[in-house]
Structure 1
Amino acid sequence: MSEHQQFLDERDKIDYLIQKGFRIHRVNEHLNGASVDFVHPEENKTETLLIGNANARKYFSSLLIKQNQ
């Protein structure tokens, strides 16, 4: 898979969770990228995504900043 296609796939997964009402709760950076925990405040559900693409990590970082403003 090309790097750009990997970015698009990871971005789409992030956007899907955000659209469903999930919020970024925790980020754990490691050698394989970042594990991002999403929590749905009303349904008490948790989802974790492994984000390996650098551009996708920048993308969720910008969403996290907007979320916390």
Structure 2
Amino acid sequence: MSDYQQYLEERDKIDYFIQKGYLISNVKEHLNGATVDFVHPNRKVTETLLIGNANARKYFSSLLIQQKQRT
């Protein structure tokens, strides 16, 4: 799979959780990329994604900055 295809898949997974109302609650950087925890504020449900693509990591970082500016 190309890097661009991997980016698109990871971006779509991130967008899915954001559209469902989840917020980014925790990020752990490691050698394989980043583990991102999403929490739904109403249902108290937590989901975790492994983001390996560098562009997808930049993407969720920009979403996290926007999220922090709104709160």
- TM over 0.5, yes or no? yes
Deviation at 1:45, TM superposition (A): 0.3
RMSD: 0.2
Which residue is equivalent to 1:30? 30
Which residue is equivalent to 1:63? 63
Q: Which runs of 4+ in 1 moved over 6 A?
A: none
Unmatched tracts of structure 1, length 5 or more: none
Which residue is equivalent to 1:48? 48
Q: TM-score by structure 2 length?
A: 0.97
Q: How many positions carry a matched residue from both structures?
A: 69
Identity of aligned residues (%): 75
Unmatched tracts of structure 2, length 5 or more: none
Q: TM-score by structure 1 length?
A: 0.99
In structure 1, give the amino acid aligned to 2:30. Answer: H
